[in-house]
Chain A
C-alpha cells in the first residue's frame, strides 16, 4: 500500500542529486546536463519538485531561448524590412536568418517556402483560406482522418460551408491506428487535398504519412501535414516526405508562443492568394487596387512577431545541438518504458498503439471509474502537470466513447524516475477514490 509517493522504494525526486536524475543509459547521459538548461524545471509546486508532463500542450524553454528574446529587445529592437537605419537592418537580418534556419531544420529546398504565422492553427487556416478558397470547387473532396485536432477540422468545415466541398475521413481502429485499407475507396480524382496529423496529440499514434502522401499524389491530391506533435520530436524532411504543406508551432519545440510555421512548396505559394492584407505583403498600392509581394512576404501582412521568431531561432539552435535523432531515441526509450509500466497496471486503460515504434511520447489514459479531471487535480497536488480533457479532439473522444482522457506527454528532458513518480501518484488517486468505494 502506498501512503505517500515519497515513501515508496523510488527515492523522491527532491532526494536525487540533479546530476543523477536521468538513468545512466548511453543515450540518456547526453541529457543529464539538459535539465539544468531549463530554469522552470527547478521549480517546486506545492513544495514538491515540478514534474512537467504536459509537453504536447507546450514545451518548457531553455535559458538560451529566454535570453535571445531579452538580448533582442535590449540590443536590436526595430521594425523589420524597409528600414534604412542600422537597427532595422540588424533586426531584419536576425528575423530572416531564422527563416533560413527553419528551412534547413525541415530540409526545405528554399527558405522562401517558410511562412511565419501566429501559431500552427493559423498556419493551417492560411493554407485553407489562401489555397482552398482559390482552388476548390463544389463537389471537390478533402480527405482528413478521425483523429484530427480541431485546428485541422474547423478550417475545412468553413470551406465546406463556403464552397460546397465534401469532407471524408480515414477511420482508425481500436488501437488508434489508421485503417489504410480504406484509402483506395476514400481517394479519388475528386480528392484535392489530404490533410492529416503526423502524430495524434490525443493517442500518440505516429501515422505512416509517407505512404499516405504517395497514395494521395498518385490521385493528384495535395497533402498537408499537421506536424505540431512531430517536428519537435523527430527528424522531419519535407523533401523526403514530399508533402505539399507542413504546419507546426514554435512553442511546442522549446521556442516562445506566438510563432507558427507553414511550409509550402514554392509553386503553390506563388499560385495561392494572400491570406491577410496590409503592410509588408504588397508590391504596389493604389486607392482601389493593389499588387502583392512574392512569397513568403505575400503572406506576412503587418509587423510580425519579430522577437519571438528570433527566440524560435535560438530554440532551433538548441535542438540542432542536441540532435533530433538523439531526441527521438531518448523519447522512444522513455515511451517504451512508460507503455510497459502502464500496461502492467490492470486498472489503467491506455489508448493508442501498443507498439512503441508507432507510439510517440504521449500516454493517454483513464483510470477505471475516475474522471480525468479528478486525476489531473490529484496529480497536480503532487507537483505533476498532466492534461485532462478532450485535448481538442472531440470527434476522436466520441469514437473512443469517453468524455476525455488524462494525458502525460514527454520531451527529452523527462526521465524514467518521473514516469515512476507519476505511477506512484496514480496509486494515490486510486486510494482516494477506492477508499470511498470500499465503504
Chain B
C-alpha cells in the first residue's frame, strides 16, 4: 500500500466523517480539554462512570482526519473499561504510536488502521492528542 493510502484508510475517513460518541455529558466524573497549539487540533472529552466502569465517553473535536478519527475510535475502545483498564489501554496505544509497539486491540480492531500514521512522524501528535487528553482528564479530577 502507498503511504498515503495507508494513512487515509477507509476506516479512518469513516470515523472522521461520521465520528462516534459526539456530544457532552452533564455532571461528568472526568472532563478534559486538549489542544495542539501548533496545528489547532482541539479535543474535549467528558467521562461518566457507573459501578467503577466508563459508562459513557462523549467528545467534541475539531481538527484533521487523523486526530478526529483517533478521538472517535478512542471513545469506542475505552467504553466499558474500568479506569485502570482504560489507563492501560491508553498507555498501550501511546507506546504503539510513539515507541513502535503494536496497535492491535482485540476489543477494538479499528485502531490498527492508525498504523499508517507512523510513517508520517509529524502527524503522530495528531493521533496521540485525544489519548493524552484522556489521561489529563483523569489527572484533573483525582478525587472523583
Contacts and interface: CB of A to CB of B under 8 A. Distances in A.
- Asked if A pairs with B, the answer is yes
A28 B120 CA distance: 37
A373 B4 contact: no
B10 A436 contact: yes
A373 B40 CA distance: 10
B28 interface: no
A388 interface: yes
Interface of A: 369-374, 377-378, 381, 388-390, 397, 403-404, 432-433, 436-437, 439
9 contacts: A369-B17, A371-B64, A371-B65, A381-B4, A390-B40, A403-B40, A404-B40, A432-B4, A436-B8
Contact of A437 (B17, B38, B63, B126): B17
Contacts of A370: 65
Given A381-B3, A439-B10, A389 B123 contact: no
B144 interface: no
B62 interface: yes
Given A381-B4, A389-B40, A432-B4, A373 B123 contact: yes
Interface residues of B, number: 24
Interface string B4-15: 100110100110
Contacts of A404: 39-40
B42 A403 contact: yes
A230 to B, nearest CB: 26
Nearest to B122: A377
A390 B10 CA distance: 28
A177 B4 CA distance: 37
B67 to A, nearest CB: 8
Nearest to A434: B13
Given A373-B41, A381-B4, 14 more contacts: A373-B39, A373-B63, A373-B66, A377-B120, A378-B4, A403-B40, A403-B41, A403-B63, A404-B40, A432-B8, A432-B13, A436-B13, A437-B13, A437-B17
Kindly name the residue among B13, B64, B120 whose own CB sees the greatest number of chain A CB atoms within 10 A: B64
